[in-house]
Structure 1
Amino acid sequence: MMKKIILGFTALIIFAAGIGAGRWFGQSPAMPAMLADEQPATTARTVLYWYDPMAPGTRFDKPGKSPFMDMDLVPRYADEVTAAGGVAISQRQQQNLGVRTALATLRKPEGQLEGWGTLEVDERSIETLSAPANGRLEKLWVNASEQLVKAGQPLADLWIPEWTAAQQEYLAIRQLGDVALSAAARQRLQLQFMPETLIRSLERSGRPQTRITLRAEHDGYLNKLEVREGARFNAAQPLLTLASLNPLWMVMDYPQSQASALQVGSHIRATSASWPGEIFSGSVSELLPTVDPTTRTLKARVVLDNPAGKLRPGMYLTLSQTSTAHAQPVLSIPQEALIVSGRDNRVLVAEGSGYFRPVKVVTGAAQQGWVAIKAGLAPGDRVVTSGQFLIDSEASLRSALPSFTEDEADVEAGAPVSPEEPAPAAMEHAHGGHQ
């Protein structure tokens, strides 16, 4: 009996000791650590504020519907602020904004430098025929302005009686046989502006020649008629003016962005609606120093060949320059990627992992939807071509400007407001930007 009591008491002590040990180990700090290791870690992202992507200048202290647009407010997380002054956009937001990108690449200039303008008379071809001495206009063979003439065609018959005395003196000296005196007398005839053909006719006939015929030296047209048939004229008086149709001038207007693409001597091709399918060739003779005050375009003078006479002054032509055989590859981006402001030009560079950074660039010529980049980018940089304006606006508001700190941003944008009570200034800004 005593033996059973002792065994029962011993079992009770062992049971009590087990309970005590369990409680002691349960209070040990190692157990929570082991349990914690077995549970998955969860990290909560910190929300700085909520905003409307269409009016990012206004911040809200809680989620809800935007008071500006019928859309949910978007949270701005603390980990979306980049040290480089850009902005982080989630994949979902990129899809909502329709973000597309393209690479900055070295490419040879292609396409055409295009211009336009109206044909003019080549002022270097204008020729004024003046009276060689006092006389009378006996006959006009052309008597209307803009009348076409051919090379060698007679224009007017002049009678100049005051040449008679000098010619008779020359004939008398020739009969003396004195070579020196004859040469001097002949030179006096030349000094009185007698044509060489008339002097030779005088020498052949031996009779005074007081009538001459003015002839066209090249094809063209009568630009101006100064006198009429039967009129008297004085020495050196303008009688008529001729202009040539080959070549012609074209004052070409072209964009300022393509100023570097055109040089003196550049080959130009021209087309006219009057002659479909035909191409007229020419070259740039001068880059004019003025800018059109209305169209803000540059001007260049192009000399166009017109051997068949198909072109006429006053015709409207379209010109292009397509010769890029010797052009060097230049760094280029799609023109739609360029963000143009009143202060500078910039693009939005995609740096990967949803981060975007605004970069100022110096641009060159724009052709066929591409714009050359002189500074600011490197080959292989990926730029945003769609959706960049909203992203750039958000980046500028937060930290794109060098001196724009987070504290200044709070002062500029104001404290977070409730979605139900937007700031009046922000409401005005949002509605003003979407009219």
Structure 2
Amino acid sequence: MKNNRIAIYIGLLAIGVLLGWFIFGGVSNTETKHNHDTVTETNQMWTCSMHPQIMQPEAGDCPICGMDLIPVESSSEGLLADQFKLSENAMALANIQTSIVGNSKSEGNTIKLSGKIAENEEANAVQVSYFSGRLELLNVSFTGEKVRKGQLLATVYSPELYAAQQELITAASIKKSQPALYNAVRNKLKLWKLSESQINQIETSGKVKENVPVYATVSGTVSEKLVEQGDYIKQGQPLLKIANLSTVWANFDVYENQIDLFKKGQEVSITTNAYDNKKLKGIVDFIDPVLDTRTRTVKLRVVLNNKEEAFKPGMFVEAEIKGIRSNNEQVLAIPSSAVLWTGKRSVVYIKPDSKESIFQMRNIILGHKIGDSYEVLEGLNNGDEIVTNGTFTVDAAAQLQGKKSMMNRDGRKGIAGHEGHLGKETTTSVNNKKPFNMNERVKVSKDFQNQLKIVFNDYIHLKDALVKDDSKNVQSGSKRLLANLSKVDMKQLENNEAHNHWMSLEKEIKIAATSMSKTSKIVAQRMYFKNLSSYLTNAIEVFGINEKVYHQFCPMADDNNGAYWLSKEEKVINPYFGDAMLTCGEVKQVIE
């Protein structure tokens, strides 16, 4: 009996345990599942395939285009598909800085333009010969010599004029009986620009002058000698070009998207490096109605009073135009250092979370450049945080991680590198060895850096030759660079991956330099120079040369595809256009 009771108690206990498990265990699982689903739903974000800047916590329509929003993919680290992360160490080394985008008033801003002084064509004159003959004496010795109106410039022996003088002497003896003939001969000499006093002197003396003087018809500076003493000249042939430099033109290039900011009559302040404290006021006199399709600019002309002749033709000048006002009272403006260009695209990098070093590329549409800032028409919102310093480094990191970047709009790994970086995919080996970072400084010997520095100096000579449109020096300089490149001792690179990376860079540098040495066409040389700049930039970034190097960029180069180059100085001197757009561009990165 007692045993039966024990069995009953055990059975009741077992039944109680089972009931408790069904009741409380089931509730716990349900709650856990519910909480998990809640978290999943909370973390899911939705975006527009056409406007990736749109991020919403729930499904719906895009507020811009009305398309259905799609779920945003996220990585194992919780990052969105196009986001990537940089380490704090990388942020510090690259000096990456960010700023908050905000509205600002466009009124009162200043635009700076670069240009050159040129002769005032309206004040120029050409001294010509009014009769044929031989130039017996030329009193102008050199270009740049000043002449005065009425000054003796030359003497000419002219058989035609010799005969006409004899006709005058004969006609003067019969002028009472033949007044019409007499007047006709005098008028003939006047058409040859002989003065009344000269004609009267010939008539009075009764002697023919073998050599006839030529006097200056205007005052000014000789800008070009077109003849030399002893030359035979024809009637109407130009002898000298004379420029009146009391007024000069200052010609400036205005970008296509800035044209509507300028108008005739605007006041301009002109400065030049030649005179630090000299500032001259001028007025916009002319805006070219035709756009230069090669540079996408128009010429803006300012007439300057130059009585002291401080401004010389060919001198570089800078113009400041204050009070520029955009069509919008309030504009969204960002620093120019935040923008990267590739062709017609402009991109920036946003930082979605101010507390995390997470970045994402954003395509934007720019308006006018005002001062050191750009007006943003589309792609950013007030309050967005963007990279304003170290943008190029952030872009390189995006490309290496296979994210959307300046040259990789689709976000694929293994793409071809953009300017200054080789965008090869980096993979981790089986033993989890840290991959070699192609944009991180590698410790190498000073001898190797000095050898690379010699190659860099040869590169600078190439750049300077391209600035001067000197294709012959480009060819010879390329050969010199190749010779010094072959002297770089790669055996000094102890790191195998660094060694292999240098071999790949050396090969590409050699291809570009060899191509430059084999062509005399300046356009082709500039194309190869763009490639050379790309690989040499990466070499200097990785290995260093113990010297500060400025990485500069012009968005108009290479038919508006943009191009980079290296420089020893911060001042922009563009090698891709020669004199046409010498100062077009800006510093994108400083490599130290």
2:349 counterpart residue number: 348
Give 1:348 deviation, angstroms.
2.6
Q: Secondary structure of 2:246's match?
A: coil
Give 1:103 deviation, angstroms.
0.9
User: CA–CA distance in 1 between the matches of 2:184 and 2:151?
Assistant: 28
Counting helix residues as a fraction of each chain, which structure ranks higher? 2
RMSD: 6.2
Q: In the alignment, is the contact (CA less than 8 A) between 1:251 and 1:300 conserved in 2? A: yes
2:112 counterpart residue number: 113
Q: Secondary structure of 1:308's match?
A: coil
Q: Which amino acid aligns with 2:101?
A: L
* Alignment partner of 1:224 is 2:220: no
2:317 counterpart residue number: 318
Q: Which amino acid aligns with 2:247?
A: P
Give 1:148 deviation, angstroms.
1.8
User: CA–CA distance in 2 between the matches of 1:228 and 1:414?
Assistant: 72
1:359 corresponds to which of 359, 362, 380: 362
User: CA–CA distance in 2 between the matches of 1:398 and 1:233?
Assistant: 72
2:335 counterpart residue number: 334
1:87 corresponds to which of 63, 83, 88: 83
Q: In the alignment, is the contact (CA less than 8 A) between 1:129 and 1:241 conserved in 2? A: yes
Query: Which of 1 and 2 has higher RCO (CA within 8 Å, sep 6+)?
Result: 1
Q: Which amino acid aligns with 1:311?
A: A
Consecutive unaligned residues of structure 1, counting only runs of 5 or more, are 1-12, 47-75, 407-411
How many aligned residue pairs are there? Answer: 375
Give 1:319 deviation, angstroms.
1.9
User: CA–CA distance in 2 between the matches of 1:269 and 1:286?
Assistant: 17
User: CA–CA distance in 2 between the matches of 1:245 and 1:92?
Assistant: 59
Q: In the alignment, is the contact (CA less than 8 A) between 1:127 and 1:241 conserved in 2? A: yes
* Alignment partner of 1:243 is 2:243: yes
Q: Which amino acid aligns with 2:106?
A: K
Give 1:361 deviation, angstroms.
2.7
**How has the CA–CA distance of structure 1 residues 264 and 174 changed in structure 2, closer, same or farther, with 3 Å as cutoff?**
farther
**How has the CA–CA distance of structure 1 residues 187 and 164 changed in structure 2, closer, same or farther, with 3 Å as cutoff?**
closer
Which of the pair has more CA radius of gyration? 1
Q: Residues 69-148 of structure 1 correspond to what in structure 2 (within 5 A)?
A: 78=76, 80-82=78-80, 85-87=81-83, 100-103=98-101, 105=103, 108=106, 110-117=109-116, 119-122=117-120, 125-133=123-131, 142-145=139-142, 146-148=144-146
Consecutive unaligned residues of structure 2, counting only runs of 5 or more, are 41-73, 414-423, 439-495, 502-537, 543-592
Q: In the alignment, is the contact (CA less than 8 A) between 1:112 and 1:322 conserved in 2? A: yes
Q: Residues 1-16 of structure 1 correspond to what in structure 2 (within 5 A)?
A: none
Task: Identify which range, 359-368 or 384-393, moves more after superposition.
Answer: 384-393
Q: Which amino acid aligns with 1:277?
A: N
Give 1:391 deviation, angstroms.
8.1
2:588 counterpart residue number: none
Tell me the TM-score normalised to structure 1 length.
0.56
Give 1:307 deviation, angstroms.
3.7
Give 1:125 deviation, angstroms.
4.4
Tell me the TM-score normalised to structure 2 length.
0.45
**How has the CA–CA distance of structure 1 residues 114 and 22 changed in structure 2, closer, same or farther, with 3 Å as cutoff?**
same
2:528 counterpart residue number: none
Q: In the alignment, is the contact (CA less than 8 A) between 1:333 and 1:373 conserved in 2? A: yes
Q: Which amino acid aligns with 2:317?
A: T
User: CA–CA distance in 2 between the matches of 1:196 and 1:404?
Assistant: 80
Q: Residues 26-37 of structure 1 correspond to what in structure 2 (within 5 A)?
A: 26-28=17-19, 29-32=22-25
User: CA–CA distance in 1 between the matches of 2:346 and 2:338?
Assistant: 10
1:385 corresponds to which of 375, 384, 388: 388
Q: In the alignment, is the contact (CA less than 8 A) between 1:150 and 1:220 conserved in 2? A: yes
Q: Secondary structure of 1:358's match?
A: strand
Counting strand residues as a fraction of each chain, which structure ranks higher? 1
Give 1:347 deviation, angstroms.
1.9
User: CA–CA distance in 2 between the matches of 1:297 and 1:170?
Assistant: 65
Q: In the alignment, is the contact (CA less than 8 A) between 1:257 and 1:366 conserved in 2? A: no
**How has the CA–CA distance of structure 1 residues 257 and 337 changed in structure 2, closer, same or farther, with 3 Å as cutoff?**
farther
